[in-house]
Amino acid sequence: MKTRITELLGCEYPIIQGGMAWVAEHTLASAVSNAGGIGLIAGGSAPIDYLRDQIRKCKEKTDKPFGVNIMLMSPNADDLAQLCIDEGVRVVTTGAGNPGKYITAWKEAGIKVIPVVPSVALAKRMERAGADAVVAEGTESGGHIGENTTMCLVPQVVDALEIPVIAAGGIADGRGMAAAFMLGAEGVQIGTRFLASEECQIHPTFKELVIKAKDTDSVVTGRYTGHPCRNIKTKFSKKLANGEKDGSLSPEEFEQITLGSLRKAVVDGNVDEGSFLCGAIAGMVNEIKPCKEIVDEIMAGAEKLLAR
Ligand code: TUI
């Protein structure tokens, strides 16, 4: 399945792994790239030395292209953005903000730039600023999200832009990928399905929560802080959601208790204090598999449907 995305990124399949903060490290990224997709290492709010080390380790594990995601709310985003240039990273995706100020320097360094956007307005601004493609991310996604759904957002972004569009949010199998292509996408970004991969290094408790999740087991918290995040339902995320709803938690108290909660989920598997960020499609993810099997199954399923 060759599209403008496989051509742009030099990969076999138009599948990009989500740049999940704290989750997406070199083992996962290299496995996805070796499977024919594009693996991403998440910059998150990591120290620069950590990200440099992850990029170098990834290069040792794969000679295929891989990328880095820059989370723009990170206090050291400027340094991480420069690191991508210094380390010869080939692909950069961005999230949680407008990467406009970095795009010229990245392009001059030959980096393919793919901002993740939650709206048509931001997508258009990114095209004008020189982005090579965008990821149109629906509210079904895990983590920090916008309001519009994948089904509504993707065709509107496709109609508004000339550059290729990658769909994200609620895609975990060949049916989802085929549907995204029907909406005009030329690639998909997949996060939640790769949480339940053998190579993903998250705490086993996190994987178990993903595998056990039902269709109704995701909840959005933090709308009133301006940073809504989709999580797996746990006692902790329900407490946050209730506190937000009944006013018993102020936005400041919310920010205080969630500080460090991604690490507590991913590294410690702490269900009492951790935020297990995860997409709404988790109910369909029921088995841990190697990334290669996941990618092959998605591709086979999508190709069969799209050939009909
Ligand atoms: O960025 C994501 N997903 C994320 S980032 C993250 S780490 C985090 N931790 C605590 C609070 C917030 C984030 C976990 N998950 N996806 C891409 C994405 N970007 N979704 C929404 C946006 C977005 C939102 C507003 C992009 C731009 C934007 O406004 C840009 C502007 O105009 O300033």
Ligand 1 nearest atom to the CA of residue 44, by list position? 7
The pTM score is 0.98
Distance between start and end Cα atoms, the chain: 14
Ligand 1 centre to CA of 98 (Å) is 9
With bands split at pLDDT 50, 70 and 90, how would you rate the model's confidence at 124? very high
pLDDT digits (tens, 9 = 90+) for 223-257: 999 999 999 999 999 999 999 999 999 999 999 99
With bands split at pLDDT 50, 70 and 90, how would you rate the model's confidence at 301? very high
Residue with tokens 């996190």: 206
Residues 35, 45: Cα–Cα separation, whole Å:
27
Ligand 1 centre to CA of 256 (Å) is 19
Strands (E), the chain: 15-17, 39-42, 66-71, 91-95, 112-117, 134-137, 143-144, 165-168, 187-190, 218-221, 229-232
Contact 99, 84 (CB under 8 A): no
pLDDT of residue 263: 97
Ligand 1 nearest atom to the CA of residue 69, by list position? 1
Tell the residue nearest (CA) to atom 1 of ligand 1.
95
pLDDT digits (tens, 9 = 90+) for 277-295: 999 999 999 999 999 999 9
Residues 199, 295: Cα–Cα separation, whole Å:
13
Name the residue of 120, 144, 157 whose CB sits within 8 Å of the most ligand 1 atoms, as the mutation to test its pocket.
Answer: 144
The tokens describing 76, both together, are 């050291």
What is the Cα gyration radius of the chain?
A: 18
Ligand 1 centre to CA of 93 (Å) is 12
Ligand 1 centre to CA of 143 (Å) is 8
Ligand 1 centre to CA of 148 (Å) is 14
Tell the residue nearest (CA) to atom 5 of ligand 1.
144
Closest CA to 200 of 39, 9, 14, 11: 39
Which residues does a 6 A CB cutoff place in the pocket of ligand 1?
21, 71, 73, 95-98, 116, 118, 122, 137, 143-146, 227, 277
Contact 224, 254 (CB under 8 A): yes
User: In which residue ranges of the chain is CATH 3.20.20.70 found?
Assistant: 4-200+286-306
pLDDT of residue 138: 98
By the 10 Å C-beta count (0-12 exposed, 13-18 middle, 19+ buried), 31 is classed as buried
Tell the residue nearest (CA) to atom 3 of ligand 1.
144
Please report the DSSP string for 120-160 in residue order.
Answer: HHHHHHHHHTT-S-EEEE-TTSSEE--SS-HHHHHHHHHHH
pLDDT of residue 79: 98
The tokens describing 308, both together, are 């009909």
Tell the residue nearest (CA) to atom 17 of ligand 1.
95
The tokens describing 28, both together, are 């996962």
| 78 phi/psi in degrees, rounded to 5 | -60, -45
Ligand 1 centre to CA of 94 (Å) is 8
pLDDT of residue 37: 98
Distances (CA, A) of 56 to 29, 88, 89, 175: 12, 10, 10, 35
Residues 147, 282: Cα–Cα separation, whole Å:
19
pLDDT of residue 50: 98
Q: For residue 6, give every residue at least 6 positions away whose Cβ sits within 8 Å of its Cβ, in sequence order, or none.
A: 12, 13, 14, 187
Ligand 1 centre to CA of 139 (Å) is 11
State which CATH number among 3.20.20.70, 3.60.21.10, 3.30.465.10, 3.40.50.880 fits the domain covering 4-200+286-306: 3.20.20.70
